[in-house]
Amino acid sequence: MALDQSFVGRSYPPTTPYEVGREKIREFAEAIGDANPAYTDREAAEALGHPDVIAPPTFVFAITFRAARQVTEDPELGLDYSRVVHGDQKFAYTRPVRAGDRLTVSSTIESVRSMAGNDILDVRGEVHDESGEHVVTAHTKLVARGPEAEEAGA
Amino acid sequence: MAAKIAYADVEIGAELPACTFPVDRERLVRYAGASGDFNPIHWNERFAKEVGLPDVIAHGMFTMAEAIRVVTDWTGDPAAVVEYGVRFTRPVVVPDDDKGAAIEVTGKVAAKLDDEARTVRVDLTVMSAGQKVLGMSRAVVKLA
């Protein structure tokens, strides 16, 4: 069931732009119960030096994870997504995501490994804005559990 | 960046104000909608148990989102977080009762990384029901 090593380094074309809306940021901030005004009040965000309201640090995952489906649903890779759990997640920010951003994600398979019956896939998602400036890089580790390695995950 | 904490005022080992974040089924449903992650293990008890979980579990990304609040509340400006990573080690089990579960987060300054860039590394400890639920939970933070 081991995945094909030749997929390491494979890149997928940038996604169509995702437009970040103020109300979507508000909805996300409310869902995590975070009342930081930088997420909902433009003046408060401006007072911190931002041109508009910004999104909480993990908001961008909704966009990068959707983009990672290019990888996880690649029929050539042959990942059994029903066995996949989220192993690690890391973000490296150049700047925060903010309302009005039109973001594209370019996904690359960083590594493919088999360990203890599990397939482990590292996917890097580079997020850029409309002007081509880098916003954030998302590093996502996905673990496809082998039938023998039943383990509850996220 | 407009962090309200000055790099010069921070010492290694300094503790950030701890926080406890509640999580119940309603919150998980709201997070599912806001994040677009509708995996039924996060809201459907029957499905969760069928796949071998003790009960509905919180999204790992929800727990990750709560944990960093200890840092963003400390700095004031969430943009002070320049890097943030976690390992999902154990699920946060969320029972269908009046209380739900709690995510307890503590953080401390583990290292001063760069005097010029004024960056520090904050290590977070994230617990639920007496067990560590996130591992290697670390943020690099740019201070004033």
CA-based max dimension of chain A: 54
Pairing assessment for the beta strands B101-114 and A134-144 based on DSSP bridges: unpaired
Mind telling me how many Å the CA of B122 is from chain A's nearest CA?
Answer: 14
What are the chain A neighbours of B72 within 8 Å (beta carbons)? 34, 36, 56-57
Q: Considering chain B, what is the average pLDDT of its residues?
A: 96
Residue position matching structure tokens 């370019």: A106
Q: Are B94 and B23 in contact (CB under 8 A)?
A: yes
pLDDT attached to residue A131: 98
Helix (H) / strand (E) element for A134: namely: strand A134-144
What are the tens digits of pLDDT across the range A75-131?
A: 988 888 888 889 999 999 999 999 999 999 999 999 999 888 899 999 999 999 999
Residues of A with CB under 8 A from a CB of B: 24, 27-28, 30-34, 36, 38-39, 47-50, 54, 56-58, 61-62, 65-66, 85-93, 95-96, 139, 150, 152-154
What are the chain B neighbours of A36 within 8 Å (beta carbons)? 69, 72-73, 78
Out of A66, A88, A96, whose CB is closest to B78? A96
pLDDT attached to residue A145: 84
- Do the chains contact at A89 and B65, CB–CB below 8 Å? no
pLDDT attached to residue A33: 98
What are the tens digits of pLDDT across the range B11-65?
A: 999 999 999 999 999 999 999 999 999 999 999 999 999 999 999 999 999 999 9
Q: Are A59 and A97 in contact (CB under 8 A)?
A: yes
pLDDT attached to residue A57: 98
Q: Are A103 and A17 in contact (CB under 8 A)?
A: yes
pLDDT attached to residue B82: 98
What are the tens digits of pLDDT across the range A13-72?
A: 999 999 999 999 999 999 999 999 999 999 999 999 999 999 999 999 999 999 999 998
pLDDT attached to residue B48: 96
- Do the chains contact at B79 and A36, CB–CB below 8 Å? no
Rounded CA gap, B100 and B96, in Å?
Answer: 6
